[in-house]
């Protein structure tokens, strides 16, 4: 099997380092404290937290706020998560005492629960009852952990939602929350702004790239037997700037070239071309969705320039574009503003100019 894995939760032998972060998260979960984990997309937040939960062996519920439509929907997803971890017989009595009784049906084949709440003008009641259930199922040795992924979306679900959650959470005992987010500026505003309901609600952790030496060793050891392993591993990390996801993706393609096509020369260069060819249509569609200002900022970033120093564009206009592109995950803040996807960066510099001419 391919020695490199990307695009899904990475576990087992595919999991790379993060030992210090893993210990730090475990320490937080062994207390009554909560954790705020921030990093750009595809840095491995989910894989790290999943590994931690697996080793802690405690019941957990995972909700991605990108897929929550309303406060009612959040309550429904949370209750479904509780039912997936605890037997119905254990919590049936508590549910019958909800102020708004949900309609429940279970598929005996898949053990999937269908949940429906009767329409109510007060979604706060549902939220309070379901979240109170979390405390009631908690035991000293099996305290539940609730993971709220892409938590920066909380404000988009309902303007009062963050305030409602904080009002309930601040009184809860016997459980931990992990708030994960990929939009650094929004997450920092939620948890570091004094007027925010979640101001200083948990320990803040920024997940950085895997250290170069460790990642280099990981890739080198997993590459098939070739004479220039070290050179290839270094070329991979040089192109991807040590990005966890894209480094694994490029290494995976190199591995395929060696094993299936018996290539040994220009492995990284050939692999980059293959991946760009596979993503060409996606990149072209993406480019066509951008307005002129965003295109200008993208090209400045791809060329290693700081778009805020573009004399042909007002700084306020450039800043608004940067914020928009950061929110969409297209650029990230490093020493300057960088294209998040190195293959898109290569497409912009090598393929796009040919399209313009044609």
Of the candidates 245, 206, 205, which has an alpha carbon nearest to the alpha carbon of residue 43? 245
Evaluate if residue 191 carries a pLDDT over 80: yes
Task: Please count the structural domains in the chain.
Answer: 3
CATH number at residue 326: 1.10.10
CA distance 4 to 260: 15
**Which has the minimum average pLDDT: 6-15, 109-118, 172-181?**
6-15
Neighbours of 281 (CB within 10 A): 9
Structure confidence at residue 309 as a pLDDT band (50, 70, 90)? confident
Report if residue 9 sits inside a domain. Answer: no
Kindly report the number of other CB atoms within 10 A of residue 325's CB atom.
22
Pair (247, 194) in one structural domain: no
Q: Is residue 5 part of a domain?
A: no
Look at strands 203-206 and 35-38 and give their pairing: parallel
7 part of a folded domain: no
Q: Token pair of 111, please?
A: 């053990």
Domain identity same for 306 and 265: no
Same domain, 103 and 199: yes
Do 151 and 273 share a domain, yes or no? no
Handedness of CA 192, 198, 199, 204 (dihedral sign): negative
Question: Are 91 and 168 members of one domain?
Answer: yes
Phi, psi of 199 (to 5 degrees): -55, 120
Q: Using 50, 70 and 90 to split pLDDT, how confident is the model at 270?
A: very high
Query: How far apart are alpha carbons 88 and 71 in whole angstroms?
Result: 23
Regarding whether 182 and 61 lie in a shared domain, the answer is yes
Give the model confidence (pLDDT) of 56-112 as tens digits.
999 999 999 999 999 999 999 999 999 999 988 889 899 988 988 888 888 878 878
The answer on 91 and 143 residing in a single domain is yes
Structure token pair of residue 26 = 């475990």
Distance CA 257, CA 115 (A): 48
What pLDDT was estimated at residue 285? 96
> Whole-prediction pTM value?
0.85
Please state, in angstroms and rounded to a whole number, the distance separating the CA atoms of residues 201 and 233: 41
* Residue with more model confidence, 312 or 288: 288
Give the neighbor-by-neighbor strand order of the sheet with 60-64.
Answer: 60-64, 145-149, 176-181, 35-38, 203-206
Final residue belonging to a domain, choices 281, 302, 326: 281
Place 152 in a pLDDT band, splitting at 50, 70 and 90.
very high
Same domain, 189 and 71: yes
Answer yes or no: is 4 within a domain.
Answer: no
- Residue 12 in this model has a pLDDT that exceeds 70: no
Which range among 14-23, 44-53, 225-234, 304-313 shows the weakest confidence by mean pLDDT? Answer: 14-23
> Is residue 14 scored above 60 in pLDDT?
no
Check whether residue 329 and residue 265 sit in a common domain. Answer: no
Residues 165 and 256 in one domain: no
State yes or no: pLDDT of 17 exceeds 70.
no
Average pLDDT value for the chain: 91
Does residue 150 form part of some domain? yes
Residue 355 has pLDDT above 90, yes or no: no
| Contact indicator for 243, 342 with CB cutoff of 8 Å | yes
Q: 341: domain range? A: 290-358
Task: Say which residue the tokens 């002129």 belong to.
Answer: 292
160: domain CATH number?
A: 3.40.50.300
| CA distance linking residue 87 with residue 215, whole number of Å | 42
On whether residue 12 sits in a domain, the answer given is no
Q: What is the mean pLDDT of residues 164-192?
A: 93
Residues 137 and 73 in one domain: yes
pLDDT at 113: 86
pLDDT in tens, 332-349: 887 788 899 999 999 999
DSSP string, 249-271: HHHHHHHHHHHHH---SSHHHHH
CA 307/CA 300 separation, integer angstroms: 6
Check whether residue 132 and residue 23 sit in a common domain.
yes
Please identify, among 143, 171, 206, the residue that sits at the C-terminal boundary of a domain.
206
Is 2 domain-assigned?
no
- Tens of pLDDT, residues 21-63: 999 999 999 998 999 999 988 888 998 999 999 999 999 999 9
DSSP state of 347: I
Beta carbons of 173 and 135 less than 8 angstroms apart: yes
Q: Which of 261, 281, 301 is the last residue of a domain?
A: 281
Is residue 25 one of the residues assigned to a domain? yes
Task: Identify whether the C-beta of residue 20 lies closer than 8 Å to the C-beta of residue 46.
Answer: no
């Amino acid at each position: 099997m391919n020695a490199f894995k990307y695009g899904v939760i990475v576990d087992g032998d595919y999991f790379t380092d993060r030992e210090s972060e893993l210990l730090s998260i475990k320490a937080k979960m062994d207390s009554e404290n909560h954790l705020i984990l921030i990093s750009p997309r595809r840095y491995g937040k989910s894989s790290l937290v999943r590994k931690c939960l697996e080793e802690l062996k405690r019941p957990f519920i995972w909700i991605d706020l990108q897929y929550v439509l309303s406060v009612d929907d959040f309550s429904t997803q949370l209750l479904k998560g509780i039912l997936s971890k605890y037997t119905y017989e254990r919590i049936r009595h508590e549910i019958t005492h909800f102020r708004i009784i949900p309609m429940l049906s279970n598929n005996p084949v898949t053990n999937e629960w269908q949940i429906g709440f009767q329409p109510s003008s007060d979604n706060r009641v549902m939220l309070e009852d379901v979240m109170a259930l979390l405390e009631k199922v908690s035991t000293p040795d099996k305290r539940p952990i609730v993971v709220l992924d892409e938590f920066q979306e909380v404000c988009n679900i309902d303007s009062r939602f963050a305030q409602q959650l904080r009002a309930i959470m601040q009184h809860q005992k016997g459980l931990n929350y992990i708030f994960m987010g990929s939009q650094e500026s929004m997450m920092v505003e939620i948890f570091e702004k004094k007027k925010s309901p979640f101001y200083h609600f948990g320990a803040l952790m920024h997940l950085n790239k895997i250290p170069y030496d460790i990642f280099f060793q990981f890739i080198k050891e997993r590459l098939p037997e070739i004479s220039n392993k070290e050179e290839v591993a270094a070329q991979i990390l040089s192109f991807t700037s040590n990005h966890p996801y894209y480094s694994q993706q490029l290494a995976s393609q190199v591995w395929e070239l060696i094993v299936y096509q018996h290539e040994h020369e220009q492995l990284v260069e050939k692999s980059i071309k293959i991946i760009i060819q596979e993503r060409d249509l996606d990149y072209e569609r993406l480019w066509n969705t951008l307005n002129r200002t965003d295109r200008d900022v993208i090209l400045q970033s791809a060329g290693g320039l700081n778009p805020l120093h573009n004399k042909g564009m007002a700084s306020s206009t450039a800043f608004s574009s940067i914020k928009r592109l950061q929110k969409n995950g297209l650029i990230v803040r490093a020493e300057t503003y960088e294209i998040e996807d190195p293959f898109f960066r290569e497409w912009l510099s090598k393929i796009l100019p040919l399209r313009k001419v044609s």
